[in-house]
Structure 1
């Protein structure tokens, strides 16, 4: 399997005990929806399968895992900080109602006052909020995604109507 055929779910943070148990930190939003019978670790650019013999999910976005053939801490040690993936075929289906800010990538941003601004290049989640990055006049501009700024999300047309604060774009264009 190639990395393009998989999706990232998290990474191994530490070993636990002497019997090869490892802790996986999930960066995937809903780990309880994942089918975790076999996972793939990115080891030196190769997707190496690990068959899960047992696991227990914790409430803090982690899970404790035992893998077949990893029965000692010495065998678990090389897995530390390795990124863990699942095949794309095992990605949980989202219902049409499950719209998240990350789905806005590629949307055209239209400001109520300034008109068409540019396309959203990426959306990042920070501790307090989601922030969109768009290209505007050949500059990368960031703005928070929140109810105060979003006027409308048009999923059919892939448009995001916003009311950005006065002067926000000027800050990026001054350089």
Structure 2
């Protein structure tokens, strides 16, 4: 499985007990969507390795206790701590309207709602505790950062791969005016 065909679900947070079990942190707004996992891909040495779950119990805080097949002691479990977890993109339910997955809009053109002027291309989305931020590069290779807030997202056009943004007045001027 290629990483480009997957999304990051979370990571192995810590060992859990003495039998090789681990605690998984699920980096998702809807952990309940992953309450019946049977397997995951674990990134080991930049490769995705499939692991089947012997046991899996989701908690109410976005974590889960998991026991992988073949991981039977603390040392084996410790070797997985910090490893990223992935699932295939094809299992994600499609979104519509202005709702999107972050990976889905990388490469989209960002335009300003006021005059439809091109802002640039979305190169990344930085996630932080406060809120996510669009990282947009324009034709002058400037990096423009706009908060990824529902109020600033006017339209997501999947067909034309554009996102229309209405950032606060003056924000674009900070980046575009010398």
Instruction: Give the secondary-structure state (helix, strand or coil) at the position aligned to 1:78.
Output: helix
TM-score, structure 2 as length reference: 0.77
Q: Does 1:29 align with 2:29?
A: yes
Q: Which runs of 5+ in 2 are unaligned?
A: none
Alignment match, 1:49: 50
Change (3 A) 1:4 1:56: same
Structure 2 distance, partners of 1:68, 1:154, is 42
Structure 2 distance, partners of 1:140, 1:127, is 21
Alignment match, 1:130: 132
TM-score, structure 1 as length reference: 0.78
- 1:51-110 deviations in Å (ceiling 9; x for gaps): 211111112211000122222212212111111222344x23235368137354403312
Question: How far is 1:49 from its partner?
Answer: 2.4
Aligned residues: 173
Alignment match, 1:85: 86
Q: Does 1:9 align with 2:1?
A: no
Structure 2 distance, partners of 1:40, 1:160, is 31
Q: Does 1:117 align with 2:119?
A: yes
Change (3 A) 1:4 1:100: closer
Tell me how large the CA RMSD over aligned residues is: 2.8
Larger-Rg structure: 1
Structure 1 distance, partners of 2:42, 2:152, is 40
Q: Which runs of 5+ in 1 are unaligned?
A: none
Question: How far is 1:14 from its partner?
Answer: 0.6
Question: How far is 1:173 from its partner?
Answer: 4.5
